Every structure is written in structure tokens, then in C-alpha cells.
Amino acid sequence: MQSYILSILIFLPLLGGAVTLCLPKESRKTIRAVSLAFAGANLLLALILALLYTQASIGAFSQSNFQEHIVWIPSIGINYTLDVDGISLLLVVLTSLLSMVCMAASYRQEKKFKNYMAFLLLLQSGILGVFLSANLFLFYIFWELMLIPAYFLVGAWGGERRIAAAFKFVLYTSVGSLLMLAGIIAVGYFYSLTAGSGCGVTLDIGTLTGGLTDASGSVTTCAARFDSTTQFWLLLAFAAAFAVKIPFVPFHSWLPDTYSEAPAPVTAILAGAMSKTGAYGFLRICIPLFPQAIHTLAPFFSILAVIGILYCAVLALVQSDLKRLLGYSSISHLGIVMLGMFAFNTQGVEGSVLQMVNHGITTAALFLIAGYVEERAGTRNIADFGGIAKRVPVLATVMLIAALSSLGLPGLNSFAGEFLSLLGAFRNNVTLGTLGTLVVVPAAWYMLRFFQGVMTGPSPTLGLVAQAERRGALLDIRMGEFLALLPLLALIFYIGFQPEPLTFLLHQPVLNTMQNLGNAFIK
């Protein structure tokens, strides 16, 4: 019996956004309660999916029960096809959690609150659609859907330079997306030329990578058979979109501007969830569909990852703005994700996906904390701060936990993901693995500077922070703010001590990916 839980996961936030827009704008409590109810229901559904999938993984029933397939436009291979595995499942749960956390943390948003919450729900719907789509054109629809609410959330609710930041974000993303659309069209065209008779045209990822299954359960020969030259150009078309979203250096200049200008909860969802769509695209589309080309270009992508790791870590060291520091730190950490992925071994890929989840948890917490600090002090300039830990001891403790998680302290969540990613990188290439590991020095430096510059040292006697302290604005973390962060803090410790439930879900899909990659060269 087919389940429609994946469709409900995608479209429930969309429905929530529509309902929120219908509410009177004066009813802030009602708007917040309704939007949080939809986000909470979506998170509960994602957790139920995780429980059911885990039962399926141990043989309780077939995982195919979660697949959804509706023929849409068969003449050009466009179908409504959804699927889930351990990789996408973890990212779905992460997105659902961060969406609820960021909506809960937005309760002090004053400007057009109804529209703001509706756009957050629409953004959640788009991101979930990307992680669950199993048809290239459907993937593209949700990929573009993410852009609309993200643009308005930055451009309408951001800081002084919000319009320029939003335009830059859209410009970079749109160019990459157009190239991906061209690549999708080309995949359909070349598939129709190379597939066997009777295969028709398809853009379903499962068919392109594994062929069709007939009534007897045997697999036909309808998998895509692109030659190496075709694979090379198709890979570049898709990689253009994914490299911008990660982002790889030199396609990264939109990110610090966007992250620094967006409201803190919006930055948290962009950095925590949306940035993972690029890495997911490489893993779900580029590696299975273009194995020869990805092997050829893997050293190039690995070098870009190492450049991003070290270059952005150095840039983070010299930032005076809290959110720009965290923005460059985010790029550096995502470089570790990509370095592990392109190691093409089990440790590297498992660590890569695990670190996507860990990075999402930690960076969301850091951006929310930065937003709390900015709200109290009226500034994000590190030089204006100093010695406020005695005024806000609980907030200082929370910031320290998140900072230590970011730099990969053993016992906290990021350690396991970074360790596996770098271990995989070492097994693949000692030089690149060594260079990637060197990031621990600047990472410790800039994260301690982030914490110490704000919380320790002598208190300033002049400036905005001093004025905020004199008028009593430097209050410790509020209960609502702490409760919004509490799930992230709990996961920082839980995954740090017990990452096995996550790696259990990842192990089989990662093995399948590596096996399919190897089979592409055996055939």
C-alpha cells in the first residue's frame, strides 16, 4: 500500500503558509500559534517517517512503501516522483527541526509578521521538496521555489544593505539554475538517443541510474548510458548550480553579504538547511549520473574544497562583524563536507553527510545567538564588545557550547563528522587530507575570538555596548530564546556522544552509492 507521507511533508508547510496569510495581521499571537502548529506538525511527521524508515531498515517492511510516483508529462519524462533514503531522511528531519526553531526564535519580529512567517513556511516547503524529489524536473521546480521566499526574506526583512544582498543572491543562484535547467533538458535528450528501444524518455533519477524494474522484479537495461564527453559537459551544467549553493570558492561572494543582512532566524535556516541542497545535489545527482566525469573532476573539486576550507578560515579571522565571521566559517566547514564527499570512500561520504547535519545544527545555533547579542547591544562589531559574560552568564554559556561544537571539540556533535570526513580524505589523498586538517588552527583561533571578543575581557566604557549596559538592555537569555535553542543544544551533546543512530541510517545508502559508482567502471 502506497503511503503519501512524503507529499504531506512537502505540502503541509505550503498549506500552513496559505492559512497564515489568511489571518488578520493584527493577531500576532494567532499568527505565531498557527505557523508554529504547522511547523510542529511537520516536525512530528518527519520524526514518524524516521521511525518508520528505521523499522524498514531492519526488515519490518519494504522501504518502497515510501515511494510516490504519478505520471505527469510522460512524453518528455516529467513525473511526480518522490523517494527517501537514509541520507535524505536526515536532511528532512534537520530542515523540519530548524524551521520550527527559527520560527520560534522570530517572536520579536515586528515588521509584517504575517508575511514573514508565511515565507518561512514556503521556504521550508521548497527545501523539503529538493531533498525528496526523485525526478530531475521536479527537483528543479523545488530548487527554484526555494529562491522566491529566500529573496523576500532577505530583501524585505534584512538590514540596511538588504536589497543589494538579495539581488546578489538571486543573480548568482539564477545563473547556476539556468545552467542546471539546460543540463536537465540535455539529460532527457541524450537519454532518448542512447536508451534501448521501449525505454521512452524519463527524468526519474532511479530509472536513469538503475534502469526499470519489470513485473517479474528484474531490472531492464533502461539506465542512462552517456559517453564520457557527454557526462563531462552535463556534470558542469549541474555543478554550476550546486557549486553556487554550497558555495565553492570563487562562487562564494554572495554568502557573507546575504547572511549578514538577513534577520538572524532567516540566516539560521539558510545556513543550516538551504546550504545543504548543493552538497546533496552532488551526492544524489552528479555522482550517480555522471560517474566517469565525476572521477575525472574529483581532484579539481577536492582542491576547490581545500581552498575554501583554508581561505575562508583566514577570512573569518579578520572579520569584525559577528555574522560575517560566522558566514566565512560556514563556507570553511562546508569545504570539509565536500572534501569528504569527493574522497569516494565509505568513511568520507558518511562523514560528509553526518557533517551536513552537524553543521546545520551548530551554525543555526551560532547565528541565532549572534542575533540575540545584536538585539541587546545594537551592534555586531566585535570591537565594541567585551566583558558582558558577567551580565549574561547563561547566554555566555550557550555561546561557548556552540562555539566549541563548531571547532570540533571531541564529545560534541561536529567531531564525529569532521573526523570521518578528514579520515576519508586522508585515505584518498594524504596531501589534501593534511591541508584540510590544517583548518583546526585558524578555526580554533576565530571561534575563540568570536567568544572572547564578545563575552570576556574588560567592559567597554564607550560605544553602543556601554550605552546598552548603562540603560539595562544587556539582559540574559529569555526563556523563549532558550527554549528555541534547547533542541539544538541537546543534539550537540547527544550526537557528540552517540552518533551511531545517524550513521546506521547512512551506512546502506552510502554503500549503495559507492557500489554503483564502482559498477559504472566494471560494466
Task: For residue 363, tell me if it sits in a domain.
Answer: yes
- pLDDT category at 81 given cuts 50, 70, 90 is very high
Length of the chain: 523
* Furthest-apart CA atoms within the chain: distance in Å: 79
Task: For residue 19, tell me if it sits in a domain.
Answer: no
The pLDDT tens digits of the residues spanning 13-31 come to 999 999 999 999 888 899 9
What is the average per-residue pLDDT within 122-145? 96
Q: What integer pLDDT is reported at residue 159 of this predicted model? A: 87
Task: For residue 246, tell me if it sits in a domain.
Answer: no
Task: For residue 71, tell me if it sits in a domain.
Answer: no
Question: What mean pLDDT is reported for the chain?
Answer: 89
Q: Is the pLDDT of residue 414 over 90?
A: yes
Helix, strand or coil for residue 71? Answer: strand
Residues 386 and 427: beta-carbon distance below 8 Å: no
Question: CA 457 → CA 169, 320, 325, 382, distances in Å?
Answer: 37, 16, 19, 12
Range of the domain at 357: 315-523
Number of domains in the chain: 1
* Lowest-pLDDT range of 176-180, 197-201, 297-301, 479-483: 197-201
Task: For residue 478, tell me if it sits in a domain.
Answer: yes
In one-letter notation, the amino acid at residue 146 is M
Whole-prediction pTM? 0.94
Question: CA 260 → CA 19, 105, 154, 263, 265, distances in Å?
Answer: 30, 17, 10, 8, 11
Task: For residue 374, tell me if it sits in a domain.
Answer: yes
Task: For residue 197, tell me if it sits in a domain.
Answer: no
Task: For residue 411, tell me if it sits in a domain.
Answer: yes
- pLDDT category at 47 given cuts 50, 70, 90 is very high
How many other C-beta atoms lie within 10 A of the C-beta of residue 325? 26
- pLDDT category at 347 given cuts 50, 70, 90 is very high
In one-letter notation, the amino acid at residue 220 is T
The pLDDT tens digits of the residues spanning 174-224 come to 999 999 999 999 999 998 888 766 677 889 998 888 755 544 444 456 777
